[in-house]
Amino acid sequence: MRARGRVLLQALLAGAMSLAVTAAGRVPQPAYEVDKSTTCVAPPAEMRRTHMDLLKHRRDQTVHAGVRGGKTSLETCIDCHAGKAGGAVTGRPDAFCEACHAYAGVRLDCFECHQSKRGAATVVSGAQGPSR
């Protein structure tokens, strides 16, 4: 019974590792790249639970009332959280948004429309350069 349990645990762990997690303690944690030189708008524990509410409140404010900028805009989030390696919050197993969402098994819809790269304002506009 115990042997079977161990096999199951190993299988679970192997599955979890494929989602880019670290198993330093008893509980596997998602492995993501984050710049710790600055602090976020709220403590990490709070952000983990409320970032979606902050973003949702913000999106309606922006789209319907034209309130832009500020520290809770998605662009500001990406500027800080985009990884050094990929320069984006998605696209790599250790990218900030992707690592956690894969770990939690929550589908990440934001970046089907939003740009996930940092500072893409000048890069994406293409060969013709930034807007006039």
Partner 1 sequence: MNQDDTTAKRRALMIGGAAALGVLVAPGIRLVEVAAATAAARPEGEAVSAKVRWGMLIDANRCDPNCHECVVACERENGLPSPKRSTDVQWIRKVELKDRKNGRTMSLPVMCQHCADPPCVDVCPTGASFKRADGIVLVDRHSCIGCRYCVMAGPYKARSFVHEPVTTQRPEVPRGKGCVESCTLCVHRIDRGDGPACAKACPTQAILFGDLNDPDSAISRRLREIRATQLRADLALDPAIHYVGI
Contacts with partner 1, residue ranges (CB under 8 A) = 59-61, 63-70, 75, 78, 112-115, 120-121, 124-126, 128, 131-132
Pick the closer one to partner 1 by CB: 24 or 65.
65
Quote the least distance from Cβ 45 to partner 1, whole Å: 27
d(CA 129, CA 123): 8
Pick the closer one to partner 1 by CB: 2 or 53.
53
Classified as helix, coil or strand, 131 is coil
Quote the least distance from Cβ 28 to partner 1, whole Å: 31
d(CA 88, CA 80): 10
Pick the closer one to partner 1 by CB: 21 or 98.
98
Beta strands in 91-131, from DSSP E residues, in sequence order: none
d(CA 58, CA 72): 7
